[in-house]
Amino acid sequence: MFNIERWQEIFEAIAKNKLRTFLTGISVASGIFILVILLGAGKGLENGIAKQFENDAEGIIEVWSGVTTKEYKGLNPGRQIQLRNSDYKLSLQKFGNQLEKKASTYNQWNGVVVFGKETGNYQYRGVNPDYQFIENATIVEGRFINEYDLKHNEKVGVIGQKIKFDLFKGKSPLGKLISINRINFKVVGVFTDPSGEREETRIYLPLTTTQKTYGAGDKISTLFYTLHKKATYEEALAESDKFSNELEQLLKSKNIIAPDDSGGVSVNNSVVDAKEFYDLNLYIRLFFWWVGICTIIAGVVGVSNIMLIIVKERTKEIGIRKALGATPISIIGMILHESIFITTIAGFIGLLSSLLLLEFVGPFVKSEYFLNPEVDFSIALTTLVLLIFAGILAGFFPAYHAAKIKPIIALRDE
């Protein structure tokens, strides 16, 4: 029930102690402000990490070779291992039914690319058709490399959109010839990549053509695999971890590498990486909650202390009320009402300020692993509930103390 006299008392008390109420409100508002900003920053980290994993296909398992670090079967350490077509074929024979997408690549970093009077230096990469989906490249003109290109060693290429603007000045390159290290290729497609311009400075060629044209024989730079999707993340993690270990041992056995040698063949499992990133993000968000709540608790303690002072100042008034028949519940309600009002208003100001800051400043704060910091409705609702609880907590102990005051003692108070 609305009690206008109760509200008049609250506003009179606030008017008598403006500075004290203002400083108390600042402590609560700053606590909510810091909590929401920290939670928004945590969401920004989560968005940034999620965006990174959207740049490529989900659950990529990547394999590359290196230098052995251990002696094995009479062979000295320090051997440079070279992956070959036979490694790729062996992996398909062994694990073909588990794979959703698969690709092998041969990479060259320094390709002098010429079209007419325009020249640029770009990476070119021999690939299989599935590589489009592994790289998450989107064809915006023409097509990607296909099986016919591989089988017939076609001299065709798919260029990134950045190369299109560099060499062709935005005009359609389809059907045009470009020279890559003095060898002509016909452009059959243009792609865009969610990772941006860095990925769009590549040229994709048929793997077989690249190996033969540039004297690579049967050399492979990197192997890529994705597995069939599972119902849960835990199943996907277990399946990919098992596959990664078995694939690593298969390739080590074929290339005569010690099973415990970490240098000869390396396997990176992005499913495991994703779990590590999201676990880290969870820990960061929990830490932010902890810091924010601790800040709010400091504000609540301040409000509680202020309310104790108010109770002390109003001891005689409370004694008179009780002498006139006021119940302990009504005394508690009076103190709680004022406490909840101060903390709620101050907290709402802190919440509104933080939301406005995230709304207007957040979109301009961008980095590779930080994107669009925001607070969703459920978090905002949680902070509002937290505000009310903070007000109750701040006022309860002073209110309980006030309710226990005996009228005869209160009336003697000076």
**What does the pLDDT read at residue 303?**
67
**What does the pLDDT read at residue 1?**
44
Q: Is the pLDDT assigned to residue 3 strictly greater than 90?
A: no
Contacts of 330 (CB under 8 A, 6+ apart): 321
**What does the pLDDT read at residue 314?**
65
CA distance 210 to 225: 21
158 vs 314, higher pLDDT: 158
**What does the pLDDT read at residue 334?**
72
355 vs 300, higher pLDDT: 355
pLDDT in tens, 249-273: 999 999 999 999 988 999 988 876 6
> What angle do helix axes 328-361 and 4-16 make, rounded to 10 degrees?
70
* pLDDT-above-70 percentage for the chain: 71
CA distance 75 to 261: 13
Tokens of 194: 């969610």
pLDDT in tens, 296-338: 677 667 666 766 666 666 666 666 766 677 676 777 777 777 7
* pLDDT level of residue 44 (50, 70, 90 thresholds): confident
CA distance 80 to 257: 11
Residue 41 region by backbone torsions, left for phi larger than 0, else alpha for psi between -120 and 50, else beta: alpha
pLDDT in tens, 62-98: 999 999 999 999 899 999 999 999 999 999 999 989 9
End-to-end CA distance of the chain: 34
- The predicted model scores a pTM of 0.61
* pLDDT level of residue 236 (50, 70, 90 thresholds): confident
Give the length of the chain: 414
β 265-269/61-65 pair status: antiparallel
When pLDDT is averaged across residues 361-374 and rounded to a whole number, the result is: 69
* pLDDT-above-90 percentage for the chain: 40
Hey, is 179 helix, strand or coil? strand
* pLDDT level of residue 274 (50, 70, 90 thresholds): low
Query: Contact, 173 vs 188, CB < 8 A?
Result: no
> What angle do helix axes 328-361 and 315-323 make, rounded to 10 degrees?
130
Cβ-based neighbour number of residue 49 at 10 Å: 19
How many helices (H) and strands (E) are present in the chain, helices listed first? 13, 12
pLDDT in tens, 179-194: 999 999 999 999 998 8
